[in-house]
C-alpha cells in the first residue's frame, strides 16, 4: 500500500468506528486503557469524547495529558488497526458540552448539560501508526486523512 492508500484506509476506519480504546498514564506512569464511544471526529486529527468527570481517566489526564487512541477492525477482513498519539484536553465549558449533548445523555448525566459529572475530552493527534496485512506506516494525521 502506498501512503495515500494507507491514509484512506485509516480514515475510513475512523469514520466507521463508534468505539475507540483510549490509553492514559496513571499516577505511577503505568498505562491504563478504557473503551470509549467516539462522539465526533475531525478526520484523524481531532477526536471528541464525553465522559464522567469522576472517572479515573479524567484524573489521569489532569496529571498528564498524553494519550493514545486506538481504532481496530477485528470482525471482518481486512484486519487493520490505527494508533493515534497526542494530547487530550479536558473541556468543561458550555459550548463544548453543547457540541456533544444529544437526547438520551440525561440517562448518564441526570442533572442535564450542566451536570458536574459531565466532561468533554478533545484528543489532538500528533502522530499515527497504521497496520493492515503486514503494512505498517507512520504518518502525521490530518483532518483530511
Cβ contact 1:135 at 8 Å: yes
Half-sphere exposure (Cβ direction) of 127: Cα atoms closer than 13 Å: 7
- The Cα–Cα gap between 10 and 26 comes to 28
Quick one: 3-139 is in which CATH superfamily? Electron Transport, Fmn-binding Protein; Chain A (2.30.110.10)
Residue-wise pLDDT tens digits, 11-47: 999 999 999 999 999 999 999 999 999 999 999 999 9
Residue-wise pLDDT tens digits, 80-103: 999 999 999 999 999 999 999 999
- The Cα–Cα gap between 103 and 133 comes to 40
What residue ranges do the domains of the chain occupy?
A: 3-139
- Cis bond leading into 78, ω under 30°? yes
What global pTM score does this model have?
0.93
Amino acid at each position: 500500500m502506498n501512503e495515500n492508500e494507507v491514509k484512506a484506509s485509516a480514515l475510513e476506519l475512523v469514520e466507521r468506528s463508534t468505539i475507540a480504546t483510549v490509553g492514559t498514564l496513571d499516577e505511577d506512569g503505568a498505562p491504563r486503557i478504557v473503551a470509549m464511544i467516539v462522539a465526533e471526529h475531525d478526520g484523524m486529527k481531532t477526536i471528541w469524547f464525553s465522559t464522567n468527570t469522576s472517572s479515573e481517566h479524567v484524573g489521569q489526564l489532569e496529571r498528564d495529558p498524553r494519550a493514545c487512541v486506538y481504532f481496530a477492525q477485528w470482525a471482518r477482513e481486512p484486519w487493520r488497526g490505527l494508533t493515534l498519539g497526542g494530547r487530550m484536553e479536558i473541556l468543561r465549558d458550555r459550548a463544548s458540552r453543547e457540541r456533544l449533548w444529544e437526547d438520551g445523555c440525561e440517562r448518564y448525566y441526570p442533572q442535564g448539560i450542566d451536570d458536574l459529572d459531565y466532561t468533554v475530552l478533545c484528543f489532538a493527534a500528533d502522530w499515527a501508526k497504521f497496520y493492515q496485512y503486514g503494512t505498517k506506516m507512520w504518518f502525521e494525521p490530518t483532518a483530511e486523512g
